[in-house]
């Protein structure tokens, strides 16, 4: 495998293998790669955790990270992403992590370049390293996915996470359900009332209300949203004892989740961030080892 | 000590120890730390010299510097600084240098994270590494602080430097005086006429006129300000023979200081910049050694 | 030699020596320098390929690259470039690569600082590393410059490349001609019709139409420009068998060159990018070796 652009590329056993490799790295440390590789992170949308997480994974693996400032690049002069990628290939980059607002931007690139492409998120599409860190975090808690009840709650139709995770979890044997305001369900079937699932779900996966993507007026105030569709302190008390709470962050405190729950015992929100570094190291290791063997 | 957020944390003997360690590093070079640490510089306000100075000190110490672009981070999505810091902790950062426009931003963080925090300047508050490099520069010239007459001149009420330095120098035994336009003195007692001090002061510490912080029309043209409150060529001639001129920079040439004085024999303006790298290396070494012993 | 600000500094034998050194590096790899040097890239204008190319060359040479964000620096507070450079010298930088919109910005710096300055492009002036990578690319094809017919086509009057390359190529024995719309020729003599040269030129060097520098309405639509002054598929067929096509990029596809020609057999557009890394490594090696011997 030379690229990872979508979780759909991975068979269940490949997902499990990556999760197990990440778990090994978390236990024993991230080993440096044998050869010197050059990587660059092309983030055309703002990001703290995904970008910094990749930067950390890359450094621990011993890669040289060549900076790329999307906000100050030739993209401003109208250069296409394809031409930017071909340019970076000519400069000698081995791999690129790309986040771009266009759905499926990678379709124009894959197969036309020898640079390894890792999708760091495209539009409302795929975000495979986020999916894998979520899988890792669930696996750490339950040791398997078979029969788990996962409730994905929030801005379902705009979320990269909902799409990627629902697909992966279903293929791994989990039962995935959605909860959202009726007008946000998009292509998904969804429930609109926490009471239907709160006592039976094993994983509550909250999504960010993406204010920046809602052009229209939001139909709810923050307080109304929290009351009807957020994880309130009251709802959290109804969860099963070993249930866990996840969120891809950044969190809108007091909107999709009560502020005091973020660092509560059931929350895995900062564990997800921690796990992200190991999952990304495992992904890069797998892809660049593959590169060696070409 | 795990954090350095204010010069007020440091006893006089601790300030002197850091100054002496910086002097050693200036003489013998900056040694690499024994372990691999990861640091990030979070600058939410523009900076050249403080940020680059930290970057240089960190690299000479052998740290891995993980880039953080505040202008393109999740802060844009409304993430709180606390959540950003907890995220970077989860990602594995050992230390963060933070510059932020909010006075005392660090109060919300210290004690709630294991990451070492170094304050790179907060609002109109503290800027301890700047204070220490100023102390180092004075110590290099005079070998002690006892009884020195220090005149801090300029935009006193808006200046981080005035506040931090006045406190530290006074505790070290120096006599600190302020000179500024009457309307800019803030909480300080100040003189408004150079003639009162020009022949007796040992250190003239000029402050930048912070045009970007003066929302109101400035009451003086640049020429008027220079004539009344700036260090002119004429005034410089009245200084004692071993007096020195300091400025935290960037300088408004011809406003707070005559352009031709910037690289004149009494000026320590670029020496301060040079000394900043050593002082920051000494601070980081001290804090991360402390971290080792935890 | 301590600085490289213009191709005019270099005698023909010095240009050839740098080209040959770059060719060696392309064949055998870029060796690390013996000492640890610190460099920073100051790009006050957007750039992908020049900046990333320098970043890659610097890393392969083993330099420490200290980041500098021109869009978030003290330049925003009105600091002069001279003061920024003197500050970075005091911080301990050995070398600076600078791109700046002001013609001849380096005149104010050279001779007043010990930092090695490499001009990464100034206004409509010089861009010596681009000229040298173009020379390298031509040399790779033809093995010499004597008597080659080079046609530089496009936005001649606004182009750094036209100016630098015309000078260098002429001194190396090539015959340089210009082709452009009549109103864009600036100080140059130019032809306005491809038919005059298409069958006899050895090198077609296309320039970017710099939309961002044309304040006035452009007199041509993109299609009209392409038809009259661009390299169309039809014109490409008239070229000599061993003729090559060059472009400094980023390319406006379908304007100065037909999109399908960019990766065609005669095109050296991505070869130029690749060669840029080796030329820049050769330049830095030469200048910092010189620094050693000071």
Q: What is the pLDDT of residues B42-65, one digit of tens each?
A: 999 888 889 999 999 999 999 999
- Which residues are CB-contacts of C247 (< 8 A; sequence separation ≥ 6)? C205, C206, C207, C208, C256, C257, C262, C267, C269, C272
Closest Cα in chain C, distance from residue A85 (Å): 11
What pLDDT, on a 0 to 100 scale, did the predictor assign at position B48?
A: 83
What pLDDT, on a 0 to 100 scale, did the predictor assign at position B294?
A: 43
Question: Any idea what the Cα angle at residue B242 is, between residues B238 and B246, rounded to 5°?
Answer: 80
- Residue B140: phi and psi, rounded to 5, are -60, -35
Single out the residue of C160, C136, C119, C158 nearest to residue C9, CA to CA.
C119
Enumerate the domain spans of chain C: 7-126+276-292, 129-273
Q: How far apart are CA B236 and CA B219, in angstroms?
A: 25
A12 touches chain B (CB under 8 A): no
Question: Please, which pLDDT band fits residue C219 given cuts at 50, 70 and 90?
Answer: confident
Q: What fold does the segment set C7-126+276-292 form as a domain? A: Rossmann fold (3.40.50)
Say yes or no for a CB contact (<8 Å) between B250 and C78.
Answer: yes
- Which residues are CB-contacts of B141 (< 8 A; sequence separation ≥ 6)? B242, B244, B268
pLDDT digits (tens, 9 = 90+) for B213-261: 555 556 788 999 999 999 999 999 999 999 999 999 889 999 999 999 9
A198 touches A238 (CB < 8 A): yes
DSSP assignment of B168-197: HHHHTT-EEEEE--GGG-TTS--B--GGGT
B39 touches B63 (CB < 8 A): yes
Q: Which residues of A touch C274 (CB under 8 A)?
A: 90-92
Say yes or no for a CB contact (<8 Å) between A71 and B72.
Answer: yes
Do domains C7-126+276-292 and C129-273 share one topology? The answer is yes
Name beta bridge partners: A96: A40, A117
Weakest-pLDDT range from A167-181, A184-198, B30-44, C256-270: A184-198
B227 touches B255 (CB < 8 A): no
Name beta bridge partners: A19: none
- Residue A149: phi and psi, rounded to 5, are -95, 115
What pLDDT, on a 0 to 100 scale, did the predictor assign at position C184?
A: 82
Say yes or no for a CB contact (<8 Å) between B87 and A48.
Answer: yes
- Residue B98: phi and psi, rounded to 5, are -125, 130
Q: Which residues of B touch C43 (CB under 8 A)?
A: none
Q: pTM for this one?
A: 0.93
Q: Exposed (0-12), middle (13-18) or buried (19+): which is C263, by Cβ within 10 Å?
A: exposed
**Residue B93 has which token pair?**
């950062």
Q: How far apart are CA A21 and CA A212, in angstroms?
A: 35
What pLDDT, on a 0 to 100 scale, did the predictor assign at position C216?
A: 57
Answer yes or no: is the ipTM higher than 0.90: yes
Weakest-pLDDT range from B8-17, B77-86, C21-30, C50-59: B77-86
B25 touches B18 (CB < 8 A): no
Q: Which residues of C touch B70 (CB under 8 A)?
A: 72
Stretch C84-92: mean pLDDT? 96
A129 touches chain B (CB under 8 A): no
pLDDT digits (tens, 9 = 90+) for A26-85: 999 999 999 999 999 999 988 888 999 999 999 999 999 999 988 766 666 678 899 999
C274 touches chain A (CB under 8 A): yes
Stretch C212-223: mean pLDDT? 69
Name beta bridge partners: A177: A151
pLDDT at A294 over 50: no
What pLDDT, on a 0 to 100 scale, did the predictor assign at position A135?
A: 98
C81 touches C56 (CB < 8 A): no
DSSP assignment of A122-142: ETTS--HHHHHHHHHHHHHHH
Q: Which residues of A touch C48 (CB under 8 A)?
A: 68, 73-75, 79, 84, 87-88
Single out the residue of B88, B83, B122 nearest to residue B4, CA to CA.
B122
Closest Cα in chain A, distance from residue C196 (Å): 31
Stretch B169-187: mean pLDDT? 91
C249 touches C263 (CB < 8 A): no
* Higher per-residue confidence, C72 vs A244: A244
Q: Which residues of B touch A55 (CB under 8 A)?
A: 66-67
* Higher per-residue confidence, C209 vs A288: A288
Q: How far apart are CA B128 and CA C59, in angstroms?
A: 33
CATH number of B129-269: 2.60.40.1180, 3.40.50.2300, 3.40.1440.10, 3.40.50.1370?
3.40.50.1370
A148 touches A138 (CB < 8 A): yes
Q: What Å distances lie between residue C22 and A49, A151, C281, CA to CA?
A: 39, 58, 7
What pLDDT, on a 0 to 100 scale, did the predictor assign at position C294?
A: 43
Residue with tokens 């079937």: A189
Please state, as a whole number, how many other Cβ atoms lie within 10 Å of the Cβ of residue A71: 14
Domain C129-273 sits in CATH 3.40.50.2000: no
Q: Exposed (0-12), middle (13-18) or buried (19+): which is B185, by Cβ within 10 Å?
A: middle
Residue with tokens 């009560």: A258
Stretch B84-102: mean pLDDT? 96
Q: How far apart are CA C117 and CA B286, in angstroms?
A: 35
Please state, as a whole number, how many other Cβ atoms lie within 10 Å of the Cβ of residue C237: 8
Single out the residue of C210, C219, C216 nearest to residue C182, CA to CA.
C219
**Residue C235 has which token pair?**
């014109």
Closest Cα in chain B, distance from residue C26 (Å): 29
Q: Is B95 helix (H, G, I), strand (E, B) or coil?
A: strand
What's the whole-number average pLDDT of chain C? Answer: 92
- Which residues are CB-contacts of C114 (< 8 A; sequence separation ≥ 6)? C89
Single out the residue of A153, A99, A97 nearest to residue A125, CA to CA.
A99
Q: What is the dihedral of CA C158, C159, C160, C163, to 10 degrees?
A: -100
Please state, as a whole number, how many other Cβ atoms lie within 10 Å of the Cβ of residue C112: 12
B65 touches chain A (CB under 8 A): no
What percentage of chain A carries pLDDT values higher than 90? 78
- Which residues are CB-contacts of C82 (< 8 A; sequence separation ≥ 6)? C108, C109, C112
What percentage of chain B carries pLDDT values higher than 90? 78
* Chain A interface mutation, best of B69, B89, B114, B115, highest count of A Cβ atoms under 10 Å: B69
Weakest-pLDDT range from A138-152, A213-227, C131-145, C276-290: A213-227
**Residue C77 has which token pair?**
């507070």
* CATH code linked to domain B7-127+274-292: 3.40.50.1370
Name beta bridge partners: C122: C100
What pLDDT, on a 0 to 100 scale, did the predictor assign at position B78?
A: 75
CA within 13 Å, CB half, C15: 30
Chain B residue with the nearest C-alpha to that of C79: B250
A47 touches B73 (CB < 8 A): yes
Name beta bridge partners: B257: B231, B253
A183 touches A154 (CB < 8 A): no
Stretch A231-258: mean pLDDT? 95
Q: What fold does the segment set A129-271 form as a domain? A: Rossmann fold (3.40.50)
pLDDT digits (tens, 9 = 90+) for C153-200: 998 887 877 878 998 999 999 999 999 998 887 777 899 999 999 999
pLDDT at A140 over 50: yes
Stretch A132-148: mean pLDDT? 98
Q: Which segments of chain A does DSSP mark as H helices, in order? A: 12-28, 49-60, 81-91, 128-142, 160-171, 222-229, 233-238, 269-292
Say yes or no for a CB contact (<8 Å) between B250 and C77.
Answer: yes
């Amino acid at each position: 495998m030379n690229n990872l652009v979508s979780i759909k590329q991975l068979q269940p056993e490949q997902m499990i293998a990556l999760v197990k490799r990440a778990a090994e790295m978390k236990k024993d440390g991230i080993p440096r790669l044998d050869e010197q590789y050059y990587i660059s992170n092309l983030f055309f949308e703002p990001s703290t955790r995904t970008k910094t997480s990749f930067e950390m994974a890359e450094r621990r693996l011993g890669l040289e990270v060549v900076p790329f400032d999307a906000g100050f690049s030739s993209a401003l002069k109208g250069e296409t992403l394809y031409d930017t990628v071909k340019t970076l290939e000519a400069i000698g980059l081995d791999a690129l992590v790309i986040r771009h607002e266009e759905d499926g931007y990678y379709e124009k690139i894959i197969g036309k370049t020898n640079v390894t492409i890792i999708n760091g998120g495209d539009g409302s599409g795929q975000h495979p390293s986020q999916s894998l860190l979520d899988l890792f975090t669930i696996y750490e808690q339950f040791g398997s996915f078979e029969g788990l009840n996962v409730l994905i709650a929030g801005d379902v139709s705009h979320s990269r996470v909902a799409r990627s995770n629902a697909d992966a979890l279903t293929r791994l044997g989990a039962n995935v359900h959605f909860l959202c305001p009726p007008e946000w369900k998009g292509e998904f079937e969804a429930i609109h009332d926490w009471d239907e699932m709160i006592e039976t779900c094993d994983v509550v996966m909250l999504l960010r209300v993406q204010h920046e993507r809602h052009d229209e007026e939001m139909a709810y105030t923050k307080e109304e949203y929290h009351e009807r569709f957020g994880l309130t302190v009251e709802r959290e008390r109804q969860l099963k004892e070993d249930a866990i709470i996840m969120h891809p962050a950044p969190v809108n405190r007091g909107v999709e989740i009560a502020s005091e729950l973020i660092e509560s015992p059931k929350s895995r929100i900062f564990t997800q961030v921690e796990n992200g570094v190991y999952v990304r190291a495992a992904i890069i290791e797998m892809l660049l080892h593959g590169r060696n063997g070409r």
